[in-house]
Amino acid sequence: MSKRYFGTDGIRGLVGDAPITPDFMLKLGWASGRVFARQAGGEGRCLVIIGKDTRVSGYMFESALEAGLVAAGVDVKLLGPMPTPAVALMTRTQNADAGIVISASHNPFFDNGIKFFGADGAKLPDETELAIEAELEKDIETVQSRDIGKVLRVVDAAGRYIEFCKSTVPEGFSLRGLRIAVDCAHGATYHIAPSVFGELGAEVITLGVQPDGFNINEGVGSTDMGQLSNLVRDSEVDFGIAFDGDGDRVLFVDGDGELVDGDELVYIIAMHRLATGHSDAGVVGTQMSNLGLELALREAGLELARAKVGDRFVKELMETNGWSLGGESSGHIICSDVTTTGDGIVAALQVLLALQSAGGDLAAVRAGITMCPQTMINVAIDAKVVLEDFPELTAAVSAVEEGLGKRGRVLLRPSGTEPVVRVMIEGQNAQEVEQLCTGLAQEVGRILG
């Protein structure tokens, strides 16, 4: 069965446009509460954790979800602004039946969305999402007054998560002597990430830590690294770390202000694990992972397995292969031997652990991987499309692939989180790649109207 509301990463869209409306969120809270209560088997009260990022609309949707859940007879614990991976963690440690995150991740403030976690702190399986959609087709029926859920605010959630993050590195690990710039995107890590690195001994210079409900991801964070790069170059810091709005992605810049993307960070972690005898046979990436990562891993004797784009697909392939490390170019990195989902702060600490082991020079550690030139252009669309339904599009892609031969590759895919088709071309010559990608993107726009 196809899903009406759920995409690759929950439900997301423009605030005020269906389904990102208060009335829908009320119904979604009720529908999901019914499903979670049913799955809990009626043994005690069903409990759902709710966290959110710093968007102004989060207050509105938090209240709506809360009302729907308690109407279904579900108890609720509110975390307030917390990173997405913190909600996954708290879902497990609070013995909750599910967790909900109100966030549109790296999108602007005028978007919002909902992500769910199961009791195990992992994203929901398709069957559960379909069960929630089935409940959404029904009329709301409030439980008897004696069975209405109760709501509690968790006041020490941030402190608990900070301690968890620090526990993911060995006892005695210290960042003393390092000067680090940390960009929190005016998002959910603003009150957490600086404390984690500071409590581990680093001198922290902050950026993007003054959320006002509207400035999340605006000119800061992992989607816009310019300010962080300038700060690193101008402030004599060792390197910079940037998170996205909900804290499940991380990117670095080295001491020269040069971007270190998710593929390079995965490589750094993988090489540390290989050197310390804790490596699996390979690493999971995605269709978008740079060819340079694949070649560098192969040279080290490791395999790169490519999943569909999206952290849930990366996690699924990691589980299938029995591997503990996977990630995306965007900086969504999963270390499943440490936590259950992509976690920007935890991944950053794994990189810092690798750096310390290798002598602390980020530029030197990344020297083992040579990234292939890659250009990606987003082509705006009005509605979801199935690319295979457009033979002219298939022909256009084939023509570019034929021209590239074995020197590169082409990837077209509709985004699961934005109304765009992503056009990506990778090769050995940067100018050729850019020209081909620009031309193909224009063709995609013409063909799709």
Task: For tokens 């100018």, name the residue.
Answer: 431
CA–CA gap between residue 435 and residue 425 (Å, rounded): 10
Please list, in sequence order, all residues whose beta carbon lies within 8 angstroms of the beta carbon of residue 270, skipping any fewer than 6 positions away. 279, 283, 297, 300, 302, 325
Residues 6+ apart with CB under 8 A from 248: 83, 84, 85, 105, 311, 332, 341, 342, 343, 344
Contact present, 91 and 119 (Cβ < 8 Å) = yes
**CA–CA dist 232, 345 (Å, integer):** 19
DSSP 372: P
Nearest C-alpha neighbor of 217 from the set 104, 134, 298, 135:
104
Q: Are 408 and 395 in contact (CB under 8 A)?
A: no
* Closest of 152, 160, 147, 91 to residue 122, by C-alpha: 91
Cα–Cα distance for residue pair 49/117, rounded to 1 Å: 9
Per the residue annotation, which of 32, 105, 324, 329 is the catalytic one? Answer: 105
Q: How many angstroms separate the CA atoms of 351 and 185, rounded?
A: 20
Asked if 54 and 101 count as a contact pair (C-beta separation under 8 A), the reply is no
What are the backbone dihedrals phi and psi of residue 410, each rounded to the nearest 5 degrees, phi first?
-125, 140
Phi, psi (degrees; rounded to nearest 5) at 98: -165, 160
No. of helices (H) and no. of strands (E), the chain = 14, 18
Active site includes 357? no
Active site residues: 105
